Amino acid sequence: MTDGLDLLPRHRATIQGLIERHLPNVEVWAYGSRTDGRSHGGSDLDLALRAPGLTPIPVARLARLKEALRDSNIPFVVEVHDWARLPEGFRRRIERGHVVFCGGASHRVKGP
């Protein structure tokens, strides 16, 4: 576990490398069971991708990242979502408890 994220360092490095290759300027937040202590061996990893200015990420670029993650040797599903396309209520839930995965200072963030 690193920085409040239930994820092996080698898996994190692989995922970060793929994100940086396909979407180098995004900030990535992890949320869900791997950040709140509810994960188990088969838990997926939920990631919200935040582009500069919180603008939508081009669909083709997002699709290429998703394909690269599927084709990787990561032994669990990595779900990636474009922050700009998430419903406001869902964004608020993510804001209340997430871990900055990459693209910013990695740390646990808890809302009020």
Q: Which two tokens stand for residue 24?
A: 């180098």
Please state, in angstroms and rounded to a whole number, the distance separating the CA atoms of residues 87 and 68: 25
Question: Which of 6, 46, 71, 82 is an active site residue?
Answer: 46
CA distances (Å), origin 87, targets 27, 31, 70? 18, 15, 25
Asked if 44 is an active-site residue, the reply is yes
Catalytic residue among 3, 6, 36, 44: 44
Paired tokens of 18: 């793929």
54, 55, 61, 67: CA torsion to nearest 10: 50
**Other CB atoms within 10 A of residue 8 CB:** 13
Which residues are part of the catalytic machinery? 44, 46
